[in-house]
A and B are shown apart, each in its own frame.
Chain A
Amino acid sequence: MQGKGRAVCIGEDIDTDLVIAGRYLRTKDHSVWVAHVFEDLDPSLASRMNGAVIVAGKNFGCGSSREQAAIAIRESGVVAVVAPSFARIFFRNAINVGLPLIECDIICTEGSPVTFDLTEGWVEAEKKKYPTRPLSAKMQEILTAGGLVNYRRTHE
């Protein structure tokens, strides 16, 4: 699985309350989450998500198990999230909704191009290629299927 986008750089320990606030959860309308993604972190971020590779600090997605956080990011048009580490529930949620996560500590400037190949296991930014930690075999299968819903539809 390959992809590319432009870097949107954010900090470390970004919790899922900051990805999508509790006040926006009571709906099934995904466009609400897309409209308010990262609102409490930086209200201007939502307009920069389409085609972005989010480059975050450690422990991205900590806190609540709310899957709306992963859905909001994916449906905003984010190509992938790169971070040195992810909180574990968010990690599962993201793969389950088909949002690629790349566990890697990379350095790049805002707006610079980021390319990656999850199958080969690398991410490249500012002419530097970094090896990435591979997903488990099961998670690769789920991600390749486009998420756990599709995986279950085709594996039963």
Chain B
Amino acid sequence: MGTLSERILGASAGEYVDRAVDRAYVHDGTGVLTLEAWKSMGAKRIQGAAHLHVFFDHIVPANNSTTATLQHELRAFACGSFFRFSDIGGGICHQLMSEGVVLPNEIIVGADSHSCTLGAFGAFATGIGATDMAAIWMTGETWFRVPESIGIHLSGAFTGAAEAKDLALTYVSRLGMDGTSYQSLEFIGKGAGVLPMDDRLTLCNLAVETGAKAGMFYADDITVQYLAAAGHTVQTQEPEPCRYIREIDFDLTDIVPVIAVPPRVDTVKTVPDLAGLPVDQVFVGTCTNGRYSDLARFARIVKGKKVAVRTIVVPASRAVLDTAIRTGVLMDLVEAGCTIGTPGCGPCLGAHMGVLGEGEVCLSTANRNFRNRMGVGGEIYLSSVATAAASALEGEITEPEVS
């Protein structure tokens, strides 16, 4: 009995528990501090390195010698301590964890706020900081406060040009940037059961933008089939009677293409409300919308045409890039004038490549549009892949056509 969070953490909402984690991961951004904290703790060894991952995704390849030196130290430590290590070009931590690593019922922590993405598999997955992670490297466990849960009932199916990202931005605007602090979102109902894994990952990814600790789907036949393709045999999770502190309904049929306007993810307008706004750069990628299905959707819209503004496409992982090459999607993108980046986070956090200049506007498929995030004086509008593609062709915000 209980919510998915209560069942996985084995305690009731509001209780504090110490739990061993099934998998824990850092990236080049948070791993450096984690290693420093771990050394400061006086730890002599790593607890369970087979379940600890280090991914290089934030600044890849290194942008200067300072970054390169920090990455060199972390790489040497990770390899020497038998961590599971993914070097530059492998892809985004959350994406790689979603490619047949995370399984239902697991407790997953990542030193990155968007670790909640992996709740799409019916796992309890949440973000933590570097020092918390260092203690996990040392002991294999951490403490949790079991979150209260909000039931998000989905019904119907997407129509027109709307996609999961539009629903994600819509629910963030409904709940607000701190609307679900310390709580967990559970996506339930018939509308949830028909969504493919890629859509579930996008929806769970944005959970943290409402302050949530986790965003979760129950593992069902779609999850089982997805993981079977990666060689895992898993069981579905059946919902049980439980107490949600709040329940919200979304009919997918009503979802329309929307855009989050800077500097808040919860300030959303419909695409027609912003139509004609000139953009300087379009960015397609990230842990929100950098999967193969996203690249393919973008390519379908721009194929045989030319983008009107600089357009950066960054596959979320090497597997995504590989598939895009084999299917011809990558060629369609290149021929349309897109610039292809190394699999990873790309310009999302404004530290490396694709940085905006003063007064420039970027339409991005990422998850954050905070002030100056992609460069001092630059503005970030967040949209779906289809809206990004239609807008790239026109050089201004443009409503996507119904495909």
Can you name the residue of chain B whose Cβ is closest to the Cβ of A68?
A: B33
Residues from chain B with Cβ under 8 Å of A88 in the complex: 181-182, 211, 213
Q: Does A63 contact B (CB under 8 A)?
A: yes
Q: Does B295 contact A (CB under 8 A)?
A: no
Q: Does B349 contact A (CB under 8 A)?
A: yes
Residues from chain A with Cβ under 8 Å of B138 in the complex: 152, 156
Q: Separation in Å of the B54 CB from the closest CB of chain A?
A: 15
Q: Does B376 contact A (CB under 8 A)?
A: yes
Can you name the residue of chain B whose Cβ is closest to the Cβ of A69?
A: B129
The answer to whether A63 touches B370, judged by C-beta atoms less than 8 angstroms apart, is yes
Q: Does A46 contact B (CB under 8 A)?
A: no
From B30, B66, B370, A17 is in contact (CB under 8 Å) with B370
Q: Fill in one digit per residue for A87-116: 1 if any B CB lies within 8 Å of its CB, else 0.
A: 111001100110000000000000000000
Q: Separation in Å of the A141 CB from the closest CB of chain B?
A: 11
From A18, A22, A62, A138, B349 is in contact (CB under 8 Å) with A22
From A22, A65, A92, B351 is in contact (CB under 8 Å) with A22
Residues from chain B with Cβ under 8 Å of A68 in the complex: 33
Q: Separation in Å of the A143 CB from the closest CB of chain B?
A: 13
Q: Does B86 contact A (CB under 8 A)?
A: no
Q: Separation in Å of the A149 CB from the closest CB of chain B?
A: 5
Residues from chain A with Cβ under 8 Å of B351 in the complex: 22-23, 25-26
Can you name the residue of chain B whose Cβ is closest to the Cβ of A152?
A: B41
Q: Does A144 contact B (CB under 8 A)?
A: no
The answer to whether A17 touches B177, judged by C-beta atoms less than 8 angstroms apart, is no
A65 and B128 in contact, given A28-B32, A152-B138 (Cβ under 8 angstroms) = yes
CB-CB contacts below 8 Å: B95-154 with A: 111-113, 127-132, 134-135, 138-139, 143, 145
Q: Separation in Å of the A10 CB from the closest CB of chain B?
A: 13
Q: Does B189 contact A (CB under 8 A)?
A: no
Residues from chain B with Cβ under 8 Å of A137 in the complex: 16
Residues from chain A with Cβ under 8 Å of B349 in the complex: 22, 64
Q: Fill in one digit per residue for A39-54: 1 if any B CB lies within 8 Å of its CB, else 0.
A: 0100000000000000
Q: Does A58 contact B (CB under 8 A)?
A: yes
Q: Does B94 contact A (CB under 8 A)?
A: no
CB-CB contacts below 8 Å: A29-82 with B: 40, 58-59, 62-68, 70
Q: Does B42 contact A (CB under 8 A)?
A: yes
Residues from chain A with Cβ under 8 Å of B16 in the complex: 136-138
A40 and B372 in contact, given A62-B177, A92-B128 (Cβ under 8 angstroms) = yes
Can you name the residue of chain B whose Cβ is closest to the Cβ of A90?
A: B129
Can you name the residue of chain B whose Cβ is closest to the Cβ of A151?
A: B135
From A18, A59, A96, B131 is in contact (CB under 8 Å) with A96
A-B contact number at CB 8 A:
125
Q: Fill in one digit per residue for A135-155: 1 if any B CB lies within 8 Å of its CB, else 0.
A: 011100000000111001100
Docked CA distance A137–B143 (Å) = 12
The answer to whether A67 touches B30, judged by C-beta atoms less than 8 angstroms apart, is yes
The answer to whether B181 touches A18, judged by C-beta atoms less than 8 angstroms apart, is no
Residues from chain A with Cβ under 8 Å of B373 in the complex: 17, 22
Q: Separation in Å of the B63 CB from the closest CB of chain A?
A: 8
CB-CB contacts below 8 Å: B316-375 with A: 349-351, 368, 370-373
Q: Does B29 contact A (CB under 8 A)?
A: yes
From A23, A58, A66, A147, B29 is in contact (CB under 8 Å) with A66
A17 and B128 in contact, given A67-B33, A136-B145, A149-B37 (Cβ under 8 angstroms) = no
Q: Separation in Å of the B1 CB from the closest CB of chain A?
A: 25
The answer to whether A87 touches B181, judged by C-beta atoms less than 8 angstroms apart, is yes
The answer to whether B70 touches A65, judged by C-beta atoms less than 8 angstroms apart, is no
Q: Fill in one digit per residue for B63-90: 1 if any A CB lies within 8 Å of its CB, else 0.
A: 1101100100000000000000000000
The answer to whether A67 touches B66, judged by C-beta atoms less than 8 angstroms apart, is no
The answer to whether A17 touches B135, judged by C-beta atoms less than 8 angstroms apart, is no
A87 and B370 in contact, given A63-B113, A148-B131 (Cβ under 8 angstroms) = no
Residues from chain A with Cβ under 8 Å of B350 in the complex: 21-23
Residues from chain B with Cβ under 8 Å of A18 in the complex: 370-372
Q: Separation in Å of the B381 CB from the closest CB of chain A?
A: 16
The answer to whether A89 touches B131, judged by C-beta atoms less than 8 angstroms apart, is no
The answer to whether B370 touches A149, judged by C-beta atoms less than 8 angstroms apart, is no
Q: Separation in Å of the A134 CB from the closest CB of chain B?
A: 13
The answer to whether A15 touches B30, judged by C-beta atoms less than 8 angstroms apart, is no
Q: Separation in Å of the B318 CB from the closest CB of chain A?
A: 23
Docked CA distance A93–B130 (Å) = 8
From A26, A64, A152, B113 is in contact (CB under 8 Å) with A64
Q: Does B59 contact A (CB under 8 A)?
A: yes
From B36, B127, B145, B368, A28 is in contact (CB under 8 Å) with B36
Q: What are 12 A-B interface contacts by the 8 Å CB criterion?
A: A23-B351, A58-B178, A59-B181, A62-B211, A64-B113, A65-B111, A138-B16, A148-B135, A149-B41, A152-B42, A152-B135, A153-B41
Can you add 19 more A-B contacts, CB < 8 Å, to A22-B350, A62-B178, A152-B139? A13-B264, A17-B368, A17-B371, A22-B351, A26-B59, A26-B63, A26-B351, A28-B70, A40-B372, A40-B376, A59-B181, A64-B368, A65-B111, A85-B178, A96-B129, A149-B40, A152-B42, A153-B41, A156-B138
- The list of the 8 closest CB pairs from A to B, nearest first, reads A59-B178, A93-B129, A96-B131, A67-B129, A152-B41, A22-B349, A22-B351, A65-B113
